[in-house]
Amino acid sequence: MVNPGLFSANKSTNSVKVSFRIPYFTQWGQSLLVCGSVPVLGSWNVKKGVLLSPVHQGAELIWGGSITVPKGFQCQYSYYVVDDNKNVLRWEMGKKRELVLREGIQSGQEIEFRDLWQTGSDALPFRSAFKDVIFRQSWDLSDATVGVNHINVEPEGEAILVQFKISCPNIEKDTSIYVIGSNTKLGQWKVENGLKLSYFGESVWKAECVMQRSDFPIKYRYGKYDRSGNFSIESGPNREVYANSPRNEAKYIFLSDGMMREIPWRGAGVAVPMFSVRSESDLGVGEFLDLKLLVDWAVASGFHLVQLLPINDTSVHGMWWDSYPYSSLSVFALHPLYLRVQALSKNIPEEIKKEIEKAKQQLDGKDVDYEATMATKLSIAKKVFAQEKDLILNSSSFKEFFSENEGWLKPYAAFCFLRDFFETSDRTQWGCFAHYSEDKLEKLVSKDSLHYEIICFHYYVQYHLHLQLSEAAEYARKKGVILKGDLPIGVDRNSVDTWVYPNLFRMNTSTGAPPDYFDKNGQNWGFPTYNWEEMSKDNYGWWRARLTQMAKYFTAYRIDHILGFFRIWELPDHAATGLVGKFRPSIPLSQEELEREGIWDFNRLSYPYIKRELLQEKFGDAWTFVATTFLKEIDKNFYEFKEDCNTEKKIASKLKTCAESSLLLESVDKLQRNLFDLSQNIVLIRDPEDPRKFYPRFNLEDTISFQDLDDHSKNVLKRLYHDYYFCRQENLWRQNALKTLPVLLNSSDMLACGEDLGLIPSCVHPVMQELGLVGLRIQRMPNEPDLEFGIPSKYSYMTVCAPSCHDCSTLRAWWEEDEERRLRFFKNVMESDGLPPDQCVPEVAHFVIRQHFEAPSMWAIFPLQDLLALKEEYTTRPATEETINDPTNPKHYWRFRVHVTLESLIKDNDLQTTIKDLVSWSGRSLPKEDDSEIEASPVSVLSAAEALSEKQKFASTTEKPVLVK
């Protein structure tokens, strides 16, 4: 790399002209700019980059510009979309471009770089899910010619040297890349006379040839030539290269043609929580080493992916509440629940082996017994640790693990010790340790401390969890199976992370979701919201470390509630439900704005509106008890809550006291629900940090408070409500996401998928598309407001499609829940005039699952329970027992276990064949079952078209299901 300080944009006798050309359609007020690593391109300061000028060329808008640089110049560069003030509106995804001026270029000559805009989806094949797993090479690239195929002559006279460059990450052994075209140098469309490209590393192929100016314009395409002599040409229209205009006589044209255009790769996967897996070796719960069996079954069934729920430690309460996998005690530590104690040592004493065998029998229940399983595993692990602690803790392997992870491992072990010592995770009860400091930490983990052995035990457990998950992850990679993890949106407020980094969290708030498909009253997850402003100060270091840790085990991940990176539903920490919240960030309604509209009685609108008639209607004869116990009269027939019960949590606490004193005349649940309704009977939410700012309550039109307003106030508030929720925030939320999400994506090579369900702002999908984020489509929760059921055949490629997910009922349970809905689905989707069966029989499951396999989505991922519905013998258990989570219940017990072992599933050839046939007929990729030769199994355009034709022929001759009740 030349010293960028030795040159400037001033032309010298030793300089050459470098031009940039890129097709891109912009909106009014937008321009394209090129910025790079050297001063002449702004040194990555976009404000100092080089603005490009647009020219129409046929149907395209071509942006171009040039700089003058010395011979031998090298740099990196990227393109940006900017406004009139050079503020960045959009930028390219993927790696920075490399500009290297080859030897032989003479002073005064012009070199033109013709590029294509790099989208987020262009970078997906270079994510570890594809690069290291799906497109994992089975051949040694050292056998290939590495380096560009330079020719011996330079362009003279009217000649132009053209360099062709294409990226092709999906290629089999002994396959070559050719470019063929209309020119004789490109074989005049004949492969045998075409131009063969050389491999240049990182899936890039290049070749050069000299052509005469009179040869232009030249039409061309790339293609693959395999060892059997078959040539598969890329899809899409012909590419075309023009010669420069007479006033821009470039002697060198370097083409960057992006990705080879092939039929989009599509795969399938299975989703199951780690705790739900059952094997013959587990101790009451799925374990990391069980993943090897799950991978074997996945490969045999035609799957390329296994998706898990979060696997981080959640041991906050020391009881079954900790079964909630999204409430992390630590975003770095793995959960001891998934430890295989038998694998802790090769020398486990006989008495411990007998204890393990006895525990296996006792814990082998229908569901997970979280508390008993955790207690048993930790008890056994402590006994093995006592036997071999010196051997392990002094081993080079452990020392390496500790050295790489001590930044989070020491605080985690100290937190666990303090949690157990004080018998609470609430650090406000920890005395001098309530506030974290490095000095206090070092004292807690000191080798001289009396409790050092306890600290080391937590190191020991994490070390073995790391070894076991690493073994399973490497096994999956070798088998060509992606292991997909889950990135929770929040952490528990009593967690290691909030203890160590309290400044990164807004501890007086709680996260949740506004009313949606899952819960009409909204959700309150209880996590503190993030202090994004503080996080940005070190470029989101906590997030980057979190993703780096995750990438040690996973090659893909699901971003839980991706909407939270645009805006989060923020609730006060005293809220018990998720209804009365506001979006953060958001532009509130100012008091001045409301006053201009004739709205002025802010106390009336922002305090619970409680009239005597409302109390009598809600509570009947018990209204006087409610009024005297919870309320005080502030005006004739108008009431407000007393100080000791003016929040939802205070109401719940007072109700508990009343129940203990036997003062209640009706059920606590019913009374609490009605009291919460009273407290939520408001129209505006006053900002607790600025009393002159307000937020419209979600669904404010449903409140009695709103309904009692005059018509003018109603009309104004309805208009402002719509503006707040659907208009004024869009640009703010887009900018917020573009600050945070790229940091996540650039923190690792993992493939990222976003869970984009719920109330979706219009800016979300364009940003996800721009960043190359794969979205989620659940048929029963369509994005289209006019559809009851999604149409899988119309899903976009950049999606994961699934018939259900862990947050809703399974396919079987959904089918049985609602007779009228079942009838509509049977008639409108399955196109059958008969009566649907009451149960989700295998024929119904087959139809729905096949729909998803055949969808254009990149991934079709199925909960294991839905796949088991394909076979009648696996449907004997009541469908409602297969539910993983009930989002409406904040204290749901996450304990579902699959009732069949992985060993049994591996032996079930019938189920594997059924699933594999569905994968095959749908045109999705099938993994290689031989782990010694894992290839990408690409298909040529012709063979794919033939397969599609056969699939359509098959579909047309297959009768639609006619099922009778």
Q: Please give the domain boundaries of the chain with CATH numbers for all domains.
A: 286-317+324-445+452-483+893-924 (3.20.20.80), 570-717 (no CATH)
**Closest of 568, 597, 580, 519 to residue 887, by C-alpha:** 519
Cα 819 to the chain's mean position, in Å?
34
Q: Copy the structure tokens of residue 827.
A: 């008639």
DSSP 537: G
Q: Which residues contact 482 (CB under 8 A, 6 or more apart)?
A: 129, 133, 134, 269, 304, 305, 306, 476, 555, 556, 751
Q: Which helix (H) or strand (E) holds 846?
A: helix 842-853
The pLDDT tens digits of the residues spanning 394-445 come to: 999 999 999 999 999 999 999 999 999 999 999 999 999 999 999 999 999 9
How far apart CA 657 and CA 280 sit, in angstroms, is: 48
3-state SS class at 81:
strand
The pLDDT tens digits of the residues spanning 542-563 come to: 999 999 999 999 999 999 999 9
The pLDDT tens digits of the residues spanning 69-123 come to: 998 899 999 999 999 999 998 889 888 999 998 877 888 889 999 999 998 888 8
The two beta strands, 50-51 and 31-36, are antiparallel
For 601-616, b/e burial (b = at least 16 CB within 10 A) is ebebbbbbbbbeebbe
- Provide the pLDDT for residue 516: 78
Q: Which residues of the chain have a pLDDT value below 50?
A: 1-11, 138-143, 145-146, 148-149, 246, 931-965
How far apart CA 737 and CA 725 sit, in angstroms, is: 17
**Closest of 166, 90, 89, 167 to residue 124, by C-alpha:** 167
DSSP 214: G
Contact (Cβ atoms closer than 8 angstroms) between residue 805 and residue 270 = no
The pLDDT tens digits of the residues spanning 439-481 come to: 999 999 999 999 999 999 999 999 999 999 999 999 999 999 9
- Provide the pLDDT for residue 1: 41
- Provide the pLDDT for residue 965: 29
The pLDDT tens digits of the residues spanning 231-269 come to: 999 999 999 998 865 455 788 999 999 999 998 999 999
The two beta strands, 482-487 and 529-530, are unpaired
Q: Which helix (H) or strand (E) holds 253?
A: strand 252-255
0.75 surpassed by pTM: yes
**Closest of 56, 49, 58 to residue 80, by C-alpha:** 49
- Provide the pLDDT for residue 656: 86
Compute the residue count for the chain: 965
How far apart CA 547 and CA 614 sit, in angstroms, is: 51
**Closest of 401, 343, 397, 381 to residue 461, by C-alpha:** 381
For 383-404, b/e burial (b = at least 16 CB within 10 A) is bbbebbbeebbeeeebeebbee
